[in-house]
Amino acid sequence: MIHTDIEIAEIGEICDNAWHALKVASATRSAPSPRRSALMAIRSWTSSAATRRLNISPKYLKPGFSFGGSCLPKDLRALTYRARRLDLDLPILTSVIPSNERHTSSGFRMIAEQGHRRVGVLA
C-alpha cells in the first residue's frame, strides 16, 4: 500500500492507464494486419511477456533523463523500418525516438543556460 495525497493518486492512475494503453496499442499494432503475420506478433509478445525481469521492472518507470545506449534505438528503428517495408503506419512507435531526442536536447539546453562548463553524471 502506498500512502499519498489525492492529487498524486489521481495523476498516478492516469499515468498507469496511459502506460497500459501504450502497451496494448504497441502489441496490437505489431501485427502487420489481422491476416498477415498476426501469429508471429502474438508469439513475439508472448515470449516478450515471459521476460519478467525486465518487462515489469520499476526501473523503466522512473521519470528522469532520456534513454541512451544502442539497444533501444537500434531495435526500435529495426521494427519501424520493417513496418514501413510492409506499408504499415506505426505512429506510436515512430514518435518514440524523436520524442526521446527532444527530451535529450531540452536537458542539454537547460544545462547550457545555467552557464556551467562542466557537468558530472551519477548513475
pLDDT in tens, 31-81: 555 555 556 666 666 766 776 666 667 777 777 788 888 888 998 888 888
Return the domain boundaries, the chain. 1-63, 67-123
15 assigned to active site: no
What's the alpha-carbon Rg for the chain, to the nearest Å?
A: 18
- pTM of the entire predicted model: 0.66
Catalytic residue among 6, 50, 71, 121: 71
Q: Which of 60, 35, 30 is nearest to 47 (CA)?
A: 30
| Cell numbers found for residue 28 | 496490437
User: Mean pLDDT highest for which of 12-21, 55-64, 86-95?
Assistant: 86-95
Q: Is 81 helix (H, G, I), strand (E, B) or coil?
A: helix
